Amino acid sequence: MIKLTEEMIELVNNARDSSNPCVVATASTDGTPNCGYMGTVLALDESSFVYRDRSGRLPLEHIEENLKAILLFRHAQKETGWKFRCTPYVHRQGPIYEDAIKRLSDAGLITDPKLEAAVVVLRVQQVLTLFGEVLQERDPVIGW
């Protein structure tokens, strides 16, 4: 079972303000890796995150062909962080998209909600320490 802690939610939700942005890592089905900083990550609920992607390029292409991604967060000053292994879902319109854009806008993470973009919901499958120790796993366990 996955249940993000209050600390995880608070630190990730404030990642941009604390100058500790999240990194999202993906790979294509042929193994080509990609990663990038995401300054718009927000906890959506107790077991998933959401962010807005304006690029429309590699991260989204990789996500749509390979439903595995990692959200990496490290807060240097607090000497803490986690790897979140996730199943990502891309939304370009509809109720999930609209709700996510509103939440991100209300949180001050985006100032231009009308800008064409996609939102990516990251359903957390595993929570690991930065050194790879598994802290939480969703049941049933998926293969990584």
- Please, are residues 42 and 28 in contact by the beta-carbon 8 Å criterion? no
Of the options 3.40.640.10, 1.10.10.10, 2.30.110.10, 3.10.20.340, the CATH number for the domain spanning 6-137:
2.30.110.10
Write the pLDDT tens digit of every residue in 22-78.
Answer: 999 999 889 889 898 998 999 999 999 999 988 766 568 888 888 999 999 999 999
**Helical segments of 41-108, H only:** 58-65, 95-106
**Three-state secondary structure call for residue 100:** helix
User: Which pair of structure tokens corresponds to residue 113?
Assistant: 């909600």
pLDDT in tens, 108-139: 998 888 888 899 999 999 999 999 999 999 97
- The DSSP line for 112-125 is -TTS--EEEEEEEE
Q: Is 92 left (phi over 0), alpha (psi -120 to 50) or beta?
A: alpha
In the chain, what are the domain boundaries? Answer: 6-137
For 49, other C-beta atoms within 10 Å of its C-beta total 27
Question: What is the rounded CA–CA span in Å between residue 135 and residue 119?
Answer: 27
Locus of tokens 């509809």: 94
- pLDDT above 70 covers a percentage of the chain that reads 94
Report cis status (omega within 30 of 0) of the bond before 140: yes
